[in-house]
Structure 1
Amino acid sequence: MLESKQTATLPSGFQTSGTTCGIKASGKPDLALFVSDTPAVSAGVFTTNRVVGAPVTICKERVPASSIRAVIINSGNANACTGNQGLDDARAMTARVAEALGCNAEDILVCSTGIIGVNLPMDVITAGIPKAVDALAPSDDAFKAAATAMMTTDTFAKQFTASVGMSSGAVKIAGVAKGAAMIAPNMATMLSVIMTDAALTAEQCDDLLKHCVERTFNSISVDGHMSTSDTVLLLANGAADAAPADDNDFQTLRDGLQQVCEELATSIIRDAEGADHFITIDVEGFETRDAAFKVAKEIAESALVKTAITGNDPNWGRITSAAGYAGIDFDTVHLSLTINNTVVFKDGAPANFDEAELSAQMKSERDVYLRLVLSGGPASGKESVCFWTSDLTQEYVRLNSDYTT
């Protein structure tokens, strides 16, 4: 049984805080801390960019693991492309948290987000960590504060909690995320920490996270630019004294985790910089999931598709042509497309529809739904993918052209 919670509540045995240490010139919160009262099993999924932030390197050395106590996150500075000094600084952050919690530095994970190529102001971070530890609490307010302290260009804090009923008892899964641009599969300038009081092995934790990330965080794109810093971490501390007893329990737990991941991932797209439209792309009827994914990704990252939707233009030719250069050997005669449930392209040929009416509908609604279906021929099958993206507006260009200057 799966029950979502509108109020983001922490699972048992976790505390969080969000404080200001002085990294951001604005004086906004910039240090988030997530702590398990007892050692937690943990796994992570990270950017596949070859240029990575120092915290990604440190975290990849430390997970999967069964003794993680905390995650420390700073915003305002990505600690990326900072050489050996960046690695030393990331390790120093974990050592400072470990000292305050009374554990080993290797049991602390670290993330950073913000400007690339600038060394961390370690004096303010070192002074700020004890304050973050002192502010720890298991409350909803403390959870919201942690989600807020992770933000950079985000306009709202992103958090979600689900309750899952297994045969051995109920557990909670709660997560936070940050991200609004430099978003692309595998993954983005996006950070997420997900916590559960379920009891899991390190192998289960790793398997669950990879499965769910592939279908959520790796299925979103704002601009196709893969970041140096993106990280999703899962911590399971077993405080609810409930573990999956069989395949049904494991599936229920996986569904709950996927729901949390999807809520967080789609909230990133809803907060995409400058976006006017939230776009859902369903690609169906392909032989493999990988083929459907490649088609969906090309559509999602096409500048021409995104700008057409910005202009409320149901220009289906841009969508079908993007599908055509995805490198999948399908036959167009079996391809059909709907926009907001209006058939615009059917079995390889234009369909009759009221273009002005569909354009007016797109203008009046933030959500746009694209459904591309392959119904036969080469590369066809039963696999499908859901992918989420945003349109591309002048405001996005303004925000990102002014980002460092």
Structure 2
Amino acid sequence: MEHLLNPRVKDIEISGIRKFYNMVAHIEDVISLTIGQPDFPTPDHIKIAAKRAIDENFTVYTHNAGFIELREAASRYFSKKYRLSYNAGDEIIVTAGASEAIDIIFRTILTADAEVILPGPVYPGYEPIIKLCGAKPVFADTTGSGFKLTADILKRYITEKTRCIVLPYPSNPTGVTLSAEELKAIAELIKDKDIFVLADEIYSELVYDQKHTSIASYIREQTIVINGLSKSHSMTGWRIGFILAPAAICKHILKVHQYNVTCAASVSQKAALAALTTGFDDAIGMKEEYIKRREYVFQRLTEMNVQVVKPDGAFYFFVKLPDGFNSSLQFCLELVEKAKVAVVPGDAFSPLGEGYFRISYAYSMDTLKTAMDRIEAFLV
């Protein structure tokens, strides 16, 4: 019966990140720096709020967009954090994580043969959904610009079929972000064009050397913002994301969301309310620790004489393959076999990622020290 399946589904593959993780999971004594998951526990006050929700039987459907107190808290949170103004009633949707947000946004805005510009190398969660919509992913090469999608690069890829530009900053896999000036230049380029911007800002609380700016500050009517609590509050398993968009767009995304999941999990929504209120600054302590880890790993990699761009945010390094290696998969397999360290091959992040590998430093300092010692010994 497989021949009857949707050919678009048959043509996509499991994420290269997970594929490699599963490939090496059986090898003993391996230090894995593969998964982008905070190693901090969810803060206690958030867990207490979730337990209280269960005890109070808050275990039923909520409004499709999320219960109103949570959306009001989200409106205040993003206003105070990033000066973004969105109405809780009709411009905010609570989703089952940022992944569901990506899915329902693309299904709302894309038509067959539309083009979506992605800054390559890029997180692999966009391309398959674009293809499932019958649209075409277009990878803009950022390898020569420090992994920044600048206005000058972007204008080379815009065509009459361009429907959306994805701006995932800070970036997974590179950790690079865009400054306010760089975002303003992009906004000026596409202002008043029939092009959406999907601003994936899931790592917005983990920006280290500057303040996070959203392109929605410049072209609000064209921008759909995605955010969430997985990275900022170490809540990956709670599956809470947010969509912020003008009401005229949001009302249509909400229809797709309704038929997709009805609503985000009610208990998780109560936990999210605690995260956005009493946990307003929960990310600060985590961010300080990530900065220490970033500085340590950057120093070690620099001493190994490998080429790497110092990340501005998130918790990744995207490292150029050392001399003598022509394949990112070959390098990563040899590193696992000989040094017992797992990292992610760069080609998991589009063809433009070939020639690199990704290190996640969302791990303890002890783990990172041992991993760096092993990598250094491998490269000698």
More strand by share: 1
Could you tell me the TM-score, scaled by structure 1's length? 0.23
If you compute each CA radius of gyration, which structure gives the higher value, 1 or 2?
Answer: 1
Could you tell me the TM-score, scaled by structure 2's length? 0.24
More helix by share: 2
